[in-house]
Amino acid sequence: MKKIIVIGAGPGGLSAALMLQSKGFDVTLIEKDERVGGRSKKLSLGDFHFDLGPTFLMYIDVLKQVFSRSGYDLEKEVNLIKLDPLYKLIFKEHTLELSADLKKNITMYESLKPGLGSAYQSWINDQTHKMSKIKTILEKPFPNALHLLRSDVLKAAPVAHPFKSVYRLLKTYDNDDHFIHSLSFQAKYLGMASYQAPSIFTILPYLEHVTGLYHVLGGLNHINEVMAKLFKEKGGTLRTQTKVTKVLVDKHHVQGVELESGEQIISDVVVMNADFAYAMTQLFDQKDLKKYKKNKVEKKKYSVSTWMMYLGINQKLDLPHHEIIFSDDYNQYLKDLMNGKMSKDLSIYIHNPSVIDETLAPKGKSSVYILMPVPNLKHGYDWDKESPDLREFVFNRIKEKHNLDLRSMIEVEKVYTPNDWMIHEHVYQGAVFNLAHGLDQMLFLRPHNQFEDVKGIYLVGGGTHPGSGLPTIYQSALIADDLISKLT
């Protein structure tokens, strides 16, 4: 029986561990924190509970496949709540509410501007065709450039528009900024602006609209907790509060890992779910790496970071589950953000899951999560100095749009800055969306699922193919499972 070590119990590591354990491998899952989940773990402040990171769950067919391969039914293991409306988008001049009902969306866009309804319908039709062509590209590894000549890749190329950005592609349907921004803000899930993100990523809003957005009772972090429970029940070894300090390598073959305690654990295979750049710069002897030595990793392009606020509020709030308050000049805001500048005109995402989930806060109260995309640590901001002003901006903006003074309602509060992402979660440069997703860091140009530098190492998570975001992270685990299962 082959022995497998999985480093990191984030969504990718948990998924891989659960699937591989079900196939009879001897799997040890090692997590530095007390709780599983990585940057998507549960955060508790007294009786108030939050998702630390991701709050959008879409395209659940991928997650269903993870559970199915492991011998379980996702919908029997977690309580999924389909959202409708999907989210509210507040612009300077208009407020849009997107629905899980496409007909309602057509009507909403048409009322905004004549012709936008038909533009939206055309966009939906084209994305349906695109998704049918690119699906296998997301599901298969790209070990070298020759895989660009695969039949599925060649068939997808004409509809993928690889050299257009999300923004440019949407502009071919209509040049209305509200239309474009409502179908492109999702590029920030990748830590990019819509004018940078390759147009293939128009599938993100498409998947939200067509396959739905979901909340999990207890928060998305509950998926991690359930996976960990099932993994242990099947005989897997989960070691929390255990830090890996070194990956052991001999002649470019992995041998196992060394822990902070000095203990060495030998294995045939290592699945790496640690943040990719952190792992390359901190967990390897540089002599064991070639393509991804520290000096090369430092030159890679990285996503933006996020500044977070978690608030326990002493009453129920009349706010939607998902809401975005866009900056007044969103185009300029995006340009500033992508150039590493802190705009004075910021966009805010507000998550108010207590409106549908009473398990997250005491009765009659709310757990509120607020996120602002900000530059990563490479841009040199002092986040201790920036945070008080950002906090005031958030409260003032919410007061302006909703006439709510959140300051007077706070029972508990926690702020998370790019520094915290790096220090506490080991996220390189605080770049929470990992390596950027430009064409120069996608497909075979992204770190491979079967790691190039050291044999016996497989990557899962946002730093490998297909990329960042929960569905693609789960997909990376499915790819790793396929590759490792061939070793039996």
| Model pLDDT, residue 315 | 97
The amino acid present at 117, given as its one-letter code, is G
User: Of 397, 425, 453, at which residue does a domain stop?
Assistant: 425
Q: What percent of the chain is modeled with pLDDT above 90?
A: 93
In this predicted structure, the answer to whether residue 163 has a pLDDT above a threshold of 90 is: no
| Model pLDDT, residue 472 | 96
User: Of 163, 188, 211, at which residue does a domain stop?
Assistant: 211
| Model pLDDT, residue 373 | 95
Beta bridge partners of 214: 57, 82
In this predicted structure, the answer to whether residue 157 has a pLDDT above a threshold of 90 is: no
312 and 417 in a single domain? The answer is: yes
Angle at 121 between CA 196 and CA 151, to 5 degrees: 60
Mean pLDDT for all residues in the chain: 96
Window from 332-346, 358-372, 453-467 with minimum mean pLDDT? 332-346
In this predicted structure, the answer to whether residue 190 has a pLDDT above a threshold of 90 is: no
In this predicted structure, the answer to whether residue 351 has a pLDDT above a threshold of 80 is: yes
What does the pLDDT average to over 454-459? 98
Task: Label residue 7 by pLDDT band (50, 70, 90).
Answer: very high
| Model pLDDT, residue 189 | 78
69 and 93 in a single domain? The answer is: no
| Model pLDDT, residue 113 | 96
Please write the tens of the pLDDT for every residue from 122-153.
999 999 999 999 999 999 999 999 998 999 99
Task: Label residue 265 by pLDDT band (50, 70, 90).
Answer: very high
Question: Residue 246 is part of a domain; what is its CATH number?
Answer: 3.50.50.60
256 and 333 in a single domain? The answer is: no
Window from 219-223, 413-417, 441-445 with minimum mean pLDDT? 441-445
In this predicted structure, the answer to whether residue 112 has a pLDDT above a threshold of 90 is: yes
Please write the tens of the pLDDT for every residue from 52-98.
999 999 999 999 999 999 999 999 999 999 999 999 999 999 999 99
| Model pLDDT, residue 372 | 97
36 and 71 in a single domain? The answer is: yes
Domain count, the chain: 3
Q: Looking at the domain assignment, is residue 315 inside a domain?
A: yes
228 and 145 in a single domain? The answer is: no
445 and 386 in a single domain? The answer is: no
User: Whose structure tokens read 């007390």?
Assistant: 34
Q: Looking at the domain assignment, is residue 97 inside a domain?
A: yes
Please write the tens of the pLDDT for every residue from 382-434.
999 999 999 999 999 999 999 999 999 999 999 999 999 999 999 999 999 99
Query: What is the DSSP pairing of strand 366-374 with strand 305-313?
Result: antiparallel
Q: Which two tokens stand for residue 11?
A: 């969504």
289 and 381 in a single domain? The answer is: no
User: Of 425, 449, 476, at which residue does a domain stop?
Assistant: 425
Q: Looking at the domain assignment, is residue 430 inside a domain?
A: no
What range does the domain containing 367 cover? 304-425
Please write the tens of the pLDDT for every residue from 32-47.
999 999 999 999 999 9
| Model pLDDT, residue 26 | 97
319 and 372 in a single domain? The answer is: yes
Q: Looking at the domain assignment, is residue 453 inside a domain?
A: yes
